[in-house]
Structure 1
Amino acid sequence: MPEVLQNKIAVITGAASGIGLATTKALLGEGASVVMVDRNRQGLDDLAGTLGAKAIPQVTDLLDAESCNAMVPEILQKVPHIDILYCNAGTYIGGDLTETTPEAIDRMLNLNVNAVMKNVHAVVPHMIERKTGDIVVTCSIAGHFPTYWEPVYSGSKWAITSFVQGMRRQMIPHGVRVSQVSPGPVASALLADWPEENLRKAKESGSLMDPEEVADAIVYMLTRKRTVTIRDMIVLPTNFDRV
């Protein structure tokens, strides 16, 4: 289905690096325009200059309530409509619960859970009015398995799995597809908090995958016929054996 995404307008959060950047490039390659949302203004400007006119920068700090609430209205001043919202921005906390702080927990839940819910809340009326749209959220394999080595992160992703699958059912009558992608470990800045020994072992064993593998999954999900929803795609490095 080579022309399905031609001239579509996508919004991707966390678009300046990692999975967000890889998906931005993939959707641009399919003919879509992409509003790249990130708090990194300089990074967005540099990328937009490199990626071309269909890459549209949107500076938003999802951890700032006012900035987060303004995101969708500001985007709709730049583009006529939103066909795809990909909520990808997130952060990571690994290790035992006793090793983190209340402040870090608040930050993670605000970004991984609250910001996603608020972004979806903001775009849903627009998509319902148009009777079409796609909402995709980056979840994680940790949202399907009690990953005892990262309970805070895992808890945030279990919450998102519940939210996404509830919203999927709510949006069926409105022609809006809602789905999630659940990657295993991806080689990106998100793993900067991993214990060094765990990261070393994962790299040596081939238990990490590139962001482009997740982007490929997103493209596959978005290019199915409107009568089909890929409700969740779990994408793992072949040598990942912890779940």
Structure 2
Amino acid sequence: MTFFGKLQGQVAAVTGAASGIGLASATALAAAGARVVLIDRDEAALARACASIGEAALPLVLDLLDAAQCKTLLQRVLALAGGLDILHANAGLYIGGDLVDAEPDAIDRMLTLNVNVVMKNVHNVLPHFIAQGRGDIIVTSSLAAHFPTPWEPVYAASKWAVDCFVQTVRRQVFKHGIRVGAISPGPVITSLLADWPAEKLAEAKANGSLVEAAEVAEVVLFMLTRPRGMTIRDVVMMPTNFDL
């Protein structure tokens, strides 16, 4: 399936865009014709990411864990790109392992980014989307949102919360021409896997049960390019060989 030109004239913003799923999504959105604002706190990585995409990429250095910076997302995207049609709320953190071993500060930081920041980003852009009578919001969730994964209770809980948020907000805003959906991949080859239990990661690699970030981005484009009368609310994608 080709998406070339399908998003021509649209502006997208992607959080956590300097690497992993965020970078793959930004690259795919640009290839489909969109101008893309890449949002990340890592200025050097963001510069490299934008250079790899080309003229369609606009960097926005923003620390979403800083409440004052977080609330300026829409304002700064509009100043950079002159509009906004698509938000991919992708930024997130991972904590795996036994809950008893987790650091409370790390739990706070992860829940803030994975849940609170997603809610605040969506809250931030909704008035703009409502005013223009159109908009698309994609949230990066996880297969962990659909299964009580025993080796990642804090992370899984954050993604269960995000899925509930997507489903409820969608019902509030579809009357305004706004679509809201979640992409829930199984384990993706990104830096987040560095925190997986070593034996679980080794097993997944040996079994070929990991997804490439570009494969997730292709599904994001599929969701965004459906006719306006159709919302893809949830996509759960996983390697064929993956077995929880």
Q: Scaled by the length of structure 2, what TM-score is found?
A: 0.97
Equivalences for 1:9-158 in 2 at 5 Å? 9-158=11-160
1: CA distance between counterparts of 2:35 and 2:153? 37
1: CA distance between counterparts of 2:51 and 2:186? 31
2: CA distance between counterparts of 1:48 and 1:101? 34
1: CA distance between counterparts of 2:51 and 2:213? 21
Please state whether the residue corresponding to 1:177 is helix, strand or coil.
Answer: strand
2: CA distance between counterparts of 1:102 and 1:236? 30
Please state whether the residue corresponding to 1:15 is helix, strand or coil.
Answer: coil
Farther off after superposition, 92-101 or 2-11: 2-11
User: Displacement, 1:50?
Assistant: 3.2
Please state whether the residue corresponding to 1:152 is helix, strand or coil.
Answer: helix
1: CA distance between counterparts of 2:50 and 2:142? 28
Unpaired segments of 5 or more residues in structure 2? none
Match of 2:175 among 168, 173, 176: 173
1: CA distance between counterparts of 2:101 and 2:90? 26
Please state whether the residue corresponding to 1:20 is helix, strand or coil.
Answer: helix
**Amino acid in the other structure paired with 1:155:** A
Q: Does 1:199 align with 2:201?
A: yes
Identical-residue share of aligned pairs (%): 54
Please state whether the residue corresponding to 1:239 is helix, strand or coil.
Answer: coil
1: CA distance between counterparts of 2:92 and 2:86? 18
Q: Scaled by the length of structure 1, what TM-score is found?
A: 0.97
* Count of paired positions: 242
User: Displacement, 1:198?
Assistant: 1.1
Task: Report the equivalent of 1:220.
Answer: 222
Task: Report the equivalent of 1:234.
Answer: 236
**Amino acid in the other structure paired with 2:19:** S
Q: Would you say the 8 A contact 2:141–2:184 is kept in 1? A: yes
User: Displacement, 1:213?
Assistant: 0.8
**Amino acid in the other structure paired with 1:16:** A
User: Displacement, 1:47?
Assistant: 2.4
Cα-to-partner distance string for 1:86-136 (whole Å, 9 max, x where unaligned):
000101111111010110110110000000000000000000000000000
User: Displacement, 1:2?
Assistant: 4.6
Cα-to-partner distance string for 1:182-227 (whole Å, 9 max, x where unaligned):
0000010011111111111110011111101100100100000000
Unpaired segments of 5 or more residues in structure 1? none
Please state whether the residue corresponding to 2:71 is helix, strand or coil.
Answer: helix
User: Displacement, 1:4?
Assistant: 2.8
